[in-house]
Amino acid sequence: MTRVGNMLLVEDNKDDELLTLDALRNAGVSNSIFVVRDGQEALDYLFVEGSFATRDRNDRPCIILLDLKLPKISGMEVLRRIKADERTKRLPVVVLTTSSEAEDIHNCYGNGANSYVRKPVEYEKFLEAIRHLGLYWTLVNEPAN
């Protein structure tokens, strides 16, 4: 059995945070989910800096759900830095975004994103997407035998 890790959700929109969390829960994801509000916080958390300097350095999220549209440091920049750093580059990053711009998608994969999930207006579709995501990347919600 794999160790159940944290998930890091980088999302500035409270509504989206709630909906995402709801969707994740609905999808059966049982991992603890840590939420940060902007790019800077995300980087601080990941690199144990700033307000997160005291955090356990070894506690690394098993997956990062990253919104692209973030205050302070954009999601794309965060992604770039994660993938540029030895400590974090192996962390799977799933980009969550409302953008369906080809350019954005292309840039994400170019910067090393592991998956790209478009946030649709239809909640059902979002749920579906998250469900797939959870199954694929977290493998945490093993049905109790």
| Residue closer to another protein (CB basis): 52 or 126 | 126
Residues 19-48 that bind another protein (CB under 8 A): 19, 22
- H helix runs in 2-121, sequence order: 14-26, 39-46, 75-84, 102-110
Residue 39 CB partners (closer than 8 Å, separation 6+)? 10, 70, 71, 72, 73, 74, 75, 77, 78
Point out which span in 42-50, 87-95, 100-108, 128-136 binds another protein (CB under 8 A). Answer: 100-108
- Residue 136 touches another protein, criterion: CB under 8 A: no
Token duo for residue 53:
């300097």
- Residue 13 touches another protein, criterion: CB under 8 A: yes
**Contact set with another protein (CB under 8 A):** 13, 15-16, 18-19, 22, 69, 97-102, 119-124, 126
